[in-house]
Structure 1
Amino acid sequence: MTDTLRLPKSPSRSLASWESWKRYLGIGLILNITIWGTALLYLEFASRIYTSKSAVALPRGGEQAQVNLPGVGSATSSIQSPYNTGSADPREDYRYIATSDPVLEAAADSLDMSRGEFGRPLVSIVPNTMLMEFEFEGDTPEAAQFKLEALYAALTARLDRLREFEAARKDESLQSILASSQEKLEDAQQSLSNYKARSEFSTDAQVEQLSSSIEQLRREQVQTMAQLEQANANLNQLSNSLQLTPQQATEAYKLQTDPYFQQLLRDYGESSAALVGLSSRYTSDNPTLLSEKARQEEIQAALEERSQSLLNKPFAYAEQLSLYDSPSRQQLLQNLVTVQADRQGFQARVQLIDQQLARLENRLKTLTEQQSVVDELRRDVQIAEAIFTSTLTQLDLRSSDVFGSYPQIQIIEEPSLPNSPSEPKPLFVLLGATFGSTLLTLGVASLWYRNHKLPSKRVQPAYSTLMPNWIEMNTGETNSSFPTF
C-alpha cells in the first residue's frame, strides 16, 4: 500500500495572500471610484455646448436670355451653371469663403463678439447633391442660432460684394468695347455722309428713275429707227420713179416752190418761144429780134443768179432737173421731198436719242459706281450699328447676370434652435467610464493573480530537496503522514 505525502498549508502564506487580495481590491476600488467620479463630475460641471444646424443649396441650372434686334441681329446673355465644369465644385469655394477670416470677423462684429469668442463653423458638403450643411456651436441654444444667422448674413454680404466687384470689372470691359464700337459707328456714319455730299448719288430711287428713262429712250429709239427705215424705203421708191436722187429732188422742189424763180422760168420760156417765131420771120440783125434776145439774156442772167442763190449751183444744173414736167411728176416730186424731210427728221431724232442714251448711260454708270460705294459704306454703318447695339444690349443683359461666378444660395433648412446640448454627451461619457473601469478592473485582477501565483512556483524547489531526505528517515514505518508546515 502506497502512502500519500501531504504537505500542510502554511498559515502565514494564506494570511499574506488575503492581505495581498485586500490591497489590490482597495487599489481597484479607488481607481474605479476615481474614474466614475471624474465622469460624473464632468457630466455635472462641464460647460454645455449647443449646436445649431442648417442646410443650403446652390442652384444647378443656368439661365439664358436672347434678344432679337430687327434689321441688326440678336444678342445673347447666359448664366452658366456652376456645375458645368468637372474640375471644380462651387461648394468648395463657398466653404472656403464661409470659413474665411473676413466673413467670420464681420459676423463676430455684428454680434459684438471677438473673433475668438465667435468661433468657427463646421461646413460639410453632402455628396451627389447640391446641399451644404452648416453647424455652429454656442454656449446657449440662442447663441448658437444667432451665430449661424450672423454667419449667413456675413456670407451673403461678402458674396454680394464679390458679385459687385465682378460686375464692375465686366462692365468696365464692356464700356470700353462700347466706346470703341460707338466711335467706329460715328466714323462710318461720317464717311457715308461725306461721300454722299461730294457725289451725285443721293438715293436708290435716283438710279431706278434713270434706268427707267434709259429703257424708255431705247424703246423710242427702236420706234424711230423703224420709221427711218420706212422713210428710206419710200424715198428709194420715189427716187426710182423720178429717176432723181433725193438731193436732186429736193433741189428741184425748192426751185418749183420759189415763185420768183418760177416766174423767171416762165418768162424765159416765153422769150425762147418768141425768139423762135421772130427768127423765122426776121433776119438776125432785126431790131425786134435783137431786143428779144437781149430780154432773154437778162432773164437767163436772173435765173442764173436765182439758181446760185437757191442751190449754189448754176442754172445749167437746174435745167437738168426736169423743171417742166407734168403735174403728176410734180406731185411725186413733192412726195419725195416730204419723205425726205421726214427722213431727215427721223435721222435727227435718232441722233438725238443716241446722244441722250450715251449721256444717260454714262451718268448711270457713274451713279452705279457711286451706289456700290454708298452700299459698302452703308454696310459698314449697319455692321457698326449691329456691333454697337449688340454690345449695348449685352451690357443691359449683363446687369442681370450677377450670379455667374457666385450663384445665389437658397436656405433649405433655417438655423435650428437646439433643444439639448451637443456636448457633453452623457452616453459617450458613461460608455467611456464603463470601458475604462472594466479595463482597469481586469488589469488589477490580472496583476493580483500574477503576484499570487508566482510565490507558489518559487517554493517548489525547496519541497523537492526536503522530500527525499524525509522519506529516507521514515522508511519502514506504516501509516506515516507528511508533517504539516
Structure 2
Amino acid sequence: MGTALQVTTPYSRFRATIYRWLHRPYLAACAISYVVITLLVIAYLQKAPTYKSDFDIVLPGTGANSQVNIDEVGQVVSSTSAPFGKGYNPRVNYKEMIKSRNLLDNAAKTLNLTAHEFGSPKVRLTEQTSILNIETTGKSAMLAQNKAWAIYDALQAQLDHLRADEVKRRDESIKAVLDQYRERLNATRNNIIDFQQRSLIVSAEQLQRETATLSSIKEKMVMIQAEIGQGEDYVSQLSVDLGVSPAMAGQAFVLQSDSEFRGYLSELTSSASQLSEYRSRWGDGHPKVKAEFARFEHSKQSLRNRSQGLVGPNAAHIFTTLDLKNNPKRAQLFADLINAYAVKKGKEAKFVELDQAQTLLNEKIKIYAREAAELERLQREFDLAEAVFTSAAARLEASKADVFASYPIVQLMTPPSLAFKAVSPKKGLAVAAALFAMIFTSLAIFMVNKRREIVALVVDKPKAEG
C-alpha cells in the first residue's frame, strides 16, 4: 500500500473551512444572525431622515354666562357650561376628530399631498389637564411644521362647520315653534281689532278719562250748588231790603230807560202837583181843577198804556214813585239785584246741564265698564302671547351666541415647532439596538449549544442533595 501526497490549494482550504463551519452549526447560526443584524442596522441608517413637529392645544375649563334684560318682557339668560362635567371628555372627541379621515383629507389637500403621503398624526392626552399634544412627521422640518399647521387649521374649520350646522338645525327647530307662537300672537291681535271695531271703547284709557270726567262733573255740581245757595240768599236779602223782587227791579230799569215813559211820568208828576195846588185853592168843582184832573188822568192812562206795552199790565203804578235817575245808589242796588239774580239763574241752568251730562255719562260708563273688562281680557291674552313670542325669539338670538356648548373652543397653547435635527434615523439608538440583539442572540445560541449540560446540572443537583 503506497502513500500519496496531497497538494493544498486556496480553494481546498476554503472548502475545508466551510466543512469545519458546517460541522459547528451553532457558530454558523451565530455568524448569520450577526450578519442579519448588521444588515438591518445598515438599512435603518440608510433611511431618509424624518423630522418632527408638535404643538399643544387647550380647551378652556370654565363656562361663560350672560344675562339680557328686555323691557316689559323679562330676562334672557345664556350660559355655556364647562365642557368637562357632562359625563364625557371632549378631549377624546377631539382626538378622534383629529385622526378622522375627513379632517386628514382636508389637511392633505391644503398641502397638495395624498392622504397616504400626509400620514396620521400622533395625539396624546395629558392626564388631569385639558391639553392635547399633536405630533406630525415629515421628510423636512418645514414639511413637518406645515403638516401641523394644516391639521390645526383643518380642525378649526371642521369645528366651525359643525357649530354652524348645529346652529342651523337648532334655528330651524326653534323657528318652527316661533311660527306657532306668531300665529297665536296674530290671532289675539285680530281679536282685539275686531272687538274695537264693534264696540264703543278702543282702549282702557277711555274708561279712565270718562271716569275722571264724571268725577270732575260731580265736583263742579257740588261747587255750583253751593254757589247757587249763596246767590239765592244774597238775592233774597237784597230783595227784602229794597222791597222789590228781581223781576220788578228789571222792569223798573226797562221803564226808566224808556224816554216816552219818563215823559209821561214827568207829565203825571207835574199834573199831580198842579192838581194838588188847584184843589187847595178852589176845590174840586172849579173848572181849572177839573181840567187839571182830566190832564192828570190822561197822563196816568198814557203811563199805564206805555208800561203795559213795555213790561206788561199792572206795572206802572209800582214805579210811579221810583225815580232811579235821581237816586244813583238805589239804581246801583237794583243793578246788583238784577245781576245777582241773573248769575243765580245761569248757575241753575249750568247745574241742570251738568246733571244731564252726569246721567248720560253714568250710562256711558256702565257700557264702557263691561266693554273694558272684555278688552282687558283680550289684551292680557295678547300680552301673554307677545311675551311668549318675544321670549322665544330672544332665546333664539341668545342661543346663536352659545356656539361652544357642544364643541368647546380650542386655543393654541404652543404653536407647531420647527425641528433643528432629524428624529430618525438615530445612529446611537441603532448601534445600541444592534449590540443588544447580538448579545441576546449569542446568549440564546450558547444556551441551545449547552442545553445538555444545563439540563444535567439541573436534574442531577436535586439527586445529589437527596
Q: Does the pair score TM above 0.5? A: yes
Contact in 1 for aligned 2:80/2:402 (Cα 8 Å): no
Q: Give, in angstroms, the shift of residue 100 of structure 1.
A: 0.9
State which of 406, 409, 412 in structure 1 corresponds to 2:411. Answer: 409
Aligned length: 407
Asked if the contact 2:246/2:338 (under 8 Å) is kept, the reply is: no
TM-score normalized by the length of structure 2: 0.59
> SS at 1:57's partner residue?
strand
Deviation string, structure 1 residues 291-341 (Cα, Å, up to 9, x no partner): 66655554443233223222212x3x543x364268899556423311123
SS at match of 1:132: strand
**Does residue 334 of structure 1 match 2:331?**
yes
Within 5 A, what are the aligned runs for 1:151-300?
151-163=151-163, 165=165, 235-268=235-268, 270=271, 274=275, 277=279, 280-282=283-285, 295-300=295-300
What SS does the corresponding residue of 1:324 show, helix, strand or coil? coil
Q: Does the alignment pair 1:446 with 2:451?
A: yes
Residue 37 of structure 2 corresponds to: 39
CA contact (8 A) 2:325 2:331 kept: no
Aligned partner of 2:134 in structure 1 is 134
Q: Which residue of the partner structure matches residue 55 of structure 2? A: 55
Task: Give the drift of 1:99.
Answer: 0.8
Deviation per residue, 1:262-282 (Å, 9 max, x gap): 443454463697398399453
SS at match of 1:128: coil
Mapped to 2, the partners of 1:84 and 1:358 lie a distance apart of 78
Measure how far apart 1:357 and its partner are: 12
1:38 Cα offset (Å) = 3.5
What's the C-alpha RMSD, in Å, of the aligned pairs? 6.4
Aligned to 2:88: 88
Match of 1:101 in 2: 101
Q: Following TM superposition, by how much is the alpha carbon of 1:126 offset from its aligned partner in structure 2, in angstroms?
A: 0.7
> What is the CA–CA distance in structure 2 between the aligned matches of 1:253 and 1:151, rounded to whole Å?
116
CA distance in 1: counterparts of 2:326 and 2:129, whole angstroms? 119
Larger Rg: 1
Q: Which has the higher contact order (CA 8 A, sep 6+)?
A: 1
Q: Which residue of 2 aligns with 1:118?
A: 118
Show the counterpart of 1:346.
Answer: 343
- For the residues of structure 2 that align with 1:117 and 1:447, how far apart are their CA atoms? 53
Identity %, equivalent residues: 20
Q: Give the superposition deviation at 1:174.
A: 9.5
1:407 is paired with a residue whose SS is coil
Runs of 5+ consecutive residues of structure 1 not aligned to the other structure: 1-21, 456-485
After TM superposition, give the deviation of residue 423 of structure 1 in Å.
Answer: 7.7
1:102, distance to aligned residue in structure 2 (A): 1.4
The verdict on how the C-alpha distance between 1:248 and 1:118 changes in structure 2, with shifts beyond 3 A counting, is closer
1:306 partner SS: helix
